[in-house]
Structure 1
């Protein structure tokens, strides 16, 4: 399996840029932050959703565009659904949007309320029309679309439609095929009137939300099998980046054939991966989102910013780390407590409002493995005071302490996080967005006022 791991850039405290040591590749691919955590709201250009219709050959098809926050041009993912589209994959689109991408979804002609007649040929044209809509100058300007970074993805039948759109539109930068359906191969199973009837009846339950009949679709497969050959299309899109994801308990054998066809055509940027799940990825949604977003990072490295940082467990102490500079007064901090040995101050990127860091001023321990027990006791005594002050000042029902060593540690100076907890709200260990300095100062003042001797 080919997989490129893109290291996401995580904001360090105070926005300082700290040179990161060279580390070995992680044993497990890191989970992108966008999969498990919401981004900070952009007050001037917040994320949004636009619902509209795209005109295709006189029929209007329904479309949704999830727009990412920020006014800069965004890479954009067009997602094409399967047959008939019961699995919407909206969670995947939302994760992609959290990663900084626009994400568009259409309903083909004759499906789910869109006008017109559903057919495989029409669905192919609908996908191409959606790409054309994304590259229209008016839409580029209105929705902050980067026309050089448009990726087309599809699940099941949508995988075929994605490959078809990418073949037809050279302005598509890359293609994602998720447990794709090679529609044309179905012809091989229609060898008699009885097998044709079986194929029709097998397709009938899925045609309820479609303006067509199973008889018409089976006839189209028999007539146009060569046009519906996904292996051929896989070879034709192999000149651009391609991600193929197969479900081991469903379409993995087909995905392996598609990947082989792409490699035979000289694919230079093919990522092929398989998940132990069913066709709908029912118990692998987080894994699916992670695979897609990690792959998308080739077009936008910030997309794959991850949920954890890490430093070597064993190394020399760096006197220029962020906390050492705060102790020396070279960098500012919103302090809530300080004595001769210990300093407590606000985390600039809090997990919750009131998130405080407690550090030793005298010890040069990088981790828990290095600190002298007496120095550790002083740090923990202050952490206890801070916890009580948070409870008193903020009316908390609980708080937690976190102390990372190596994995999850962003600054190589031992520090204890004292973090307010809100009942019923999960705690995600992610790289959080920087808070407004005014909010940090106000919170520090509240906690300082509640600190007991």
Structure 2
């Protein structure tokens, strides 16, 4: 490089430095008591939510604005490969906080996974968000918390909401009716064969992200609780809630439609149903799924 070229580069670098310094010096100073970063902007908070002596790995997508915002607890399925975080982002843009967490024994959260533990974990997540200090930090309204669950997450939403009348609404996306599926298998097989077939189905879904459980043990747990875990058994407890039921072409639509019918027969006048012709993960209809969930949530906010 020639001497003149080197001098030119040095001069350009010097001028760039002066420009940066000038821009810093001329930037308006923040008002007293305010952070240079815009307050109340959208953000993400991470935490470990206590549940029966373990800390569940969790995050909250915090909506922009002063709030307090309504909140969705987004519940993943079995084992949880589809996390629906695209929905979480869309829901946040609509003005809701969104909590996502991993049940005990799943995806690195300490503890042992089981279906009963999962129900307890949802109750723990609700209790966490309702703490005044937590609600204040996340700018959320603890009186306006909605459960939205996909697959097994739909099962968790129904079980947890039936036990907690303060949950104002639930969204069920291709809910995994564990009790209903087991009873169907039981009608077609001997009890031992039904449990074995249930275990085979669970193992097929994948056990690698789960700790402290086996497919056989989980199937036996379903067999022991089947009568209470059927979706339709919770219709009376949920008849005063606002419920969204979304179905797909995954073999679970009949169970979910039966749940919606049971709610209506129990006197629930706030049941919304939508069928999308796609697979269990809604792989090619994610936008339609999001629009369905957002339209339902918009109705709750009125």
TM-score band w.r.t. shorter chain: 0.7 to 0.9
The 5 Å alignment of 1:203-242 reads 203-205=202-204, 206-211=206-211, 212-242=213-243
What corresponds to 1:96 in structure 2? 91
Aligned-residue offset at 1:268: 1.5
Aligned-residue offset at 1:194: 4.5
Counterpart contact for 2:182–2:198, Cα < 8 Å: no
Q: Deviations over 1:43-69 (max 9, x none)?
A: 321111111111111111111110001
Counterpart contact for 2:147–2:167, Cα < 8 Å: yes
2:75 counterpart of 1:75: no
SS at match of 1:253: helix
What corresponds to 2:29 in structure 1? none
How many angstroms apart in 2 are the aligned matches of 1:279 and 1:141? 36
Using a 3 Å threshold, how does the CA distance of structure 1 residues 116 and 262 change in structure 2: closer, same or farther? same
2:119 counterpart of 1:120: no
How many angstroms apart in 2 are the aligned matches of 1:256 and 1:235? 16
Counterpart contact for 1:64–1:106, Cα < 8 Å: yes
TM-score, normalised to structure 1, is 0.55
Q: Deviations over 1:92-134 (max 9, x none)?
A: 0110001110000111111111111111111001011111111
What corresponds to 1:43 in structure 2? 38
Counterpart contact for 2:244–2:271, Cα < 8 Å: yes
How many angstroms apart in 1 are the aligned matches of 2:244 and 2:194? 34
Bigger Cα displacement from structure 2, 91-100 vs 242-251: 242-251
Counterpart contact for 1:147–1:171, Cα < 8 Å: no
What corresponds to 1:286 in structure 2? 287
How many angstroms apart in 1 are the aligned matches of 2:194 and 2:39? 59
1:133 to 109, 128, 132: 128
Aligned-residue offset at 1:293: 0.5
1:107 to 95, 102, 110: 102
2:196 counterpart of 1:201: no
Counterpart contact for 1:250–1:278, Cα < 8 Å: no
What corresponds to 2:182 in structure 1? 187
Unaligned runs of 5+ in 2: 1-36
Considering fraction of residues, name the structure with more helix: 2
The 5 Å alignment of 1:321-360 reads none
What corresponds to 2:274 in structure 1? 273
How many angstroms apart in 1 are the aligned matches of 2:235 and 2:57? 27
Using a 3 Å threshold, how does the CA distance of structure 1 residues 174 and 195 change in structure 2: closer, same or farther? closer
Using a 3 Å threshold, how does the CA distance of structure 1 residues 195 and 241 change in structure 2: closer, same or farther? closer
How many angstroms apart in 2 are the aligned matches of 1:222 and 1:165? 19
What corresponds to 2:23 in structure 1? none
How well do the aligned residues superpose, as a CA RMSD in angstroms?
Answer: 1.6
2:58 counterpart of 1:63: yes
SS at match of 2:254: helix
Higher-Rg structure is 1
SS at match of 1:176: strand
Count residues with an aligned counterpart: 260
Counterpart contact for 1:234–1:261, Cα < 8 Å: yes
2:158 counterpart of 1:159: no
What corresponds to 2:33 in structure 1? none
Using a 3 Å threshold, how does the CA distance of structure 1 residues 196 and 250 change in structure 2: closer, same or farther? closer
